[in-house]
Amino acid sequence: MRKVCVMEGDGIGKEVIPEALKVLKELGDFEIIKGDVGLECLKKYGTALPDETIEKAKEADVILFGAITSPKPNEVKNYKSPIITLRRMFDLYANVRPINNFGVGELIGRLNNYEFLKVKDVDLVIIRENTEGLYVGREKILEDDIAISERIITRKGSERIIRFAFEYAKRNNRKKVSCIHKANVLRVSDGLFLKIFNEIKEKYNNIKADDFLVDSTAMNLIKYPEKFDVIVTTNLFGDILSDEASVLIGGLGLAPSANIGGKKALFEPVHGSAPDIAGKGIANPMASILSVAMLFDYMGEKEKGDIIREAVKQCIINKKTTPDLGGNLKTVEVGDEIVRYIRKRI
- Is 204 among the residues known to form the active site? no
CA 54 to chain centre: 21
Give the closest residue to 248 by CA, choosing from 94, 107, 67: 107
**Full DSSP string of 296-334:** HHHTT-HHHHHHHHHHHHHHHHTT---GGGT----HHHH
- Is 224 among the residues known to form the active site? no
Annotated catalytic residue: which of 22, 182, 201, 320? 182
Annotated catalytic residue: which of 10, 14, 36, 135? 135
* Exposed / middle / buried, residue 95 (Cβ in 10 Å: 0-12, 13-18, 19+): buried
Annotated catalytic residue: which of 243, 298, 313, 336? 243
- Is 215 among the residues known to form the active site? yes
**Who's near 304: CB < 8 A, 6+ residues apart?**
27, 28, 293, 296
- Is 135 among the residues known to form the active site? yes
Annotated catalytic residue: which of 10, 36, 211, 239? 239
* Exposed / middle / buried, residue 78 (Cβ in 10 Å: 0-12, 13-18, 19+): exposed
- Is 61 among the residues known to form the active site? no
Annotated catalytic residue: which of 120, 215, 224, 319? 215
Give the closest residue to 114 by CA, choosing from 247, 224, 234: 247
Give the residue numbers annotated as catalytic, written as ranges: 135, 182, 215, 239, 243
